[in-house]
Chain A
Amino acid sequence: DAKTTQPPSMDCAEGRAANLPCNHSTISGNEYVYWYRQIHSQGPQYIIHGLKNNETNEMASLIITEDRKSSTLILPHATLRDTAVYYCIVRAPRTNAGGTSYGKLTFGQGTILTVHP
C-alpha cells in the first residue's frame, strides 16, 4: 500500500472547520483513501473513504485532488469531542495476483487534532 504523510499535530477552535491534509504521492490507480480516527483509549473509528471523487457523509467531507496525490479531511464544525488522532490510509481493495493480502490496514503516525474552546 502507498505510504502517507500527515502533519504530526494540528489545533482547531471549537465550531470552526478542521482541515486535515494527507499526502500520498505514490498512490496507485486502484487504491482508496481511508480516514480513521482514534479517540483516547478507544478503538479506531471509521470516518470516510474515497477513490477519485469528493465524498461527504454525516461525519466529514473528503476532498481528493485531481491527480490523487493528496487529500484533505474536513470536519465542518469541530467540537471538543473531535479531539483525536486522525489517520489517513491508502489501500488496495483486493488481494493481488501473487496472493498477498491487502486486507490489512497500515496505520502511520497520524495527526493529533486538538480542538480547543
Chain B
Amino acid sequence: GAGVSQSPSNKVTEKGKDVELRCDPISGHTALYWYRQRLGQGLEFLIYFQGNSAPDKSGLPSDRFSAERTGESVSTLTIQRTQQEDSAVYLCASSVSRGGTQYFGPGTRLLVL
C-alpha cells in the first residue's frame, strides 16, 4: 500500500523540551531504521529494529535519544532535553527484512530554538 509515513512533518521546539517523532513503516516490513540528516550533511544512522530482536542502538548520539517499536508496526523516536545541535531532518526507512531494500519516508524537520 502506501509508503513510509512520518509525523509531524515539521516540529519547532524550545531548547530543553522533549520531542517525539513517529514513523509508520510500509505494512509487512519487519525492519525499521532511523537516520538523522543535518543541514548540508549526509545521513547518520541512529537505530535499527528487526522484528522481535534487540535493536541496534549503535548510532544513537547520546542517552537523550531513545526509540521504541511495537512489534512490526509504528516506531517513535524520542529526544529528551533537546539541544540546538539536535536540529536536523529525522528520516525513517523500512524494509521487508534485514538487508532488504530500504524505503524512506519524507522525514521530520526538527528545529530547536
Binding site for B on A (CB under 8 A): 34, 36, 42-46, 49, 91-95, 101-110
B31 adjacent to A103 (CB under 8 Å)? yes
Question: When chains A and B are docked, how far (Å) is the Cα of A113 from the Cα of B55?
Answer: 35
Residues of A within 8 A of B103 (CB): 46
Within the complex, the shortest CB–CB distance from B95 to chain A, in Å, comes to 8
Residues of B within 8 A of A36 (CB): 104
CA of A91 to CA of B102, assembled, Å: 12
Q: Given A44-B91, A108-B42, A110-B42, are A103 and B98 neighbors across the interface (CB < 8 Å)? A: yes
CA A94 – CA B93 in complex, angstroms? Answer: 17
Residues of chain B contacted by A101 (CB below 8 angstroms): 48, 50, 56, 58, 98
Does B33 lie at the interface of the complex (its beta carbon under 8 Å from any beta carbon of A)? yes
Residues of chain A with a CB closer than 8 A to B93's CB:
43-44, 105
Q: Which chain B positions have C-beta within 8 A of A105? A: 33, 35, 43, 45, 93, 102
Give chain B residues whose Cβ lies under 8 Å from the Cβ of A109.
42
The 11 sampled A-B contact pairs (Cβ below 8 Å) are A43-B93, A43-B104, A43-B107, A46-B102, A93-B99, A93-B100, A94-B99, A101-B58, A103-B95, A105-B93, A110-B42
The answer to whether A104 and B101 have CB atoms under 8 Å apart is no
Q: CB-nearest residue of chain B relative to A94?
A: B99
Determine if B25 is an interface residue (Cβ-Cβ < 8 Å): no
Is the beta-carbon distance between A46 and B101 smaller than 8 angstroms? yes
- How far, in Å, is A82 (CB) from chain B's closest CB? 18
Question: Measured between alpha carbons, how far is A43 from B33 in the docked complex, in Å?
Answer: 13
Which residue in chain B gives the minimum CB-CB distance to A106?
Answer: B45
CA–CA, A34 and B99, complex, Å: 12
Tell me whether B33 and A104 are in contact (CB under 8 A): yes
B71 contacts A by Cβ under 8 Å: no
Cross-chain contact of B101 among A34, A102, A106 (Cβ < 8 A): A34
Please tell me if the beta carbons of A103 and B91 are within 8 angstroms of each other in the complex. Answer: no
Chain B's closest residue to A92 (CB) is: B99
List the 6 closest pairs (A to B, CB-CB), nearest first: A93-B99, A43-B104, A104-B45, A107-B43, A101-B56, A107-B42
Chain A residues with Cβ below 8 Å from B43 are: 44, 105, 107
User: In whole angstroms, what is the CA distance A91 to B42 when docked?
Assistant: 16
